[in-house]
Amino acid sequence: MRCTGGEVGATSALAPKIGPLGLSPKKVGDDIAKATGDWKGLRITVKLTIQNRNAAIEVVPSASALIIKALKEPPRDRKKVKNIKHSGSVTFDEIVGIARLMRHRSIARELSGTIKEILGTSQSVGCTIDGRPPHDVIDDINSGKVECPSE
């Protein structure tokens, strides 16, 4: 389920999913807000695993959420600030770290392909890689100028 990090989501969205299981939507909503505290202001996916009437919450961050977190921007109030421009710069090493985190969800055969996927996402987020546009870095990887770690 998608929710905004660090905020108690609408219990009306939770109720039909967990009501039949005998859990309180308000309590689960508070647990989600607690578990997503360090993703404040970002839209992230949360995986709820319910076992013997206890909800275990697991944060499943997307590539864009990881990139925005790597930009180290101050948390924003989503009700007040709209259409934010992410104009910061991320290092190539951070991109490789994000690619390693996302490796299991990627459809690429090698890590270099996953790195290119993350670079494409950073292009759509609007940030730069070491002060360069992400597509230039992708071209350098394709031509062999930039060396990608194998795993």
pLDDT band at 83 (very low <50, low <70, confident <90, very high): low
104 vs 38: CA distance, rounded Å: 22
Reported pTM:
0.66
Closest CA to 57 of 35, 79, 78: 35
pLDDT digits (tens, 9 = 90+) for 94-122: 777 887 877 777 777 777 788 888 888 87
141 vs 126: CA distance, rounded Å: 19
Q: What pLDDT score was predicted for residue 92?
A: 76
pLDDT digits (tens, 9 = 90+) for 16-61: 878 787 787 888 888 888 887 777 777 788 888 888 877 788 888 7
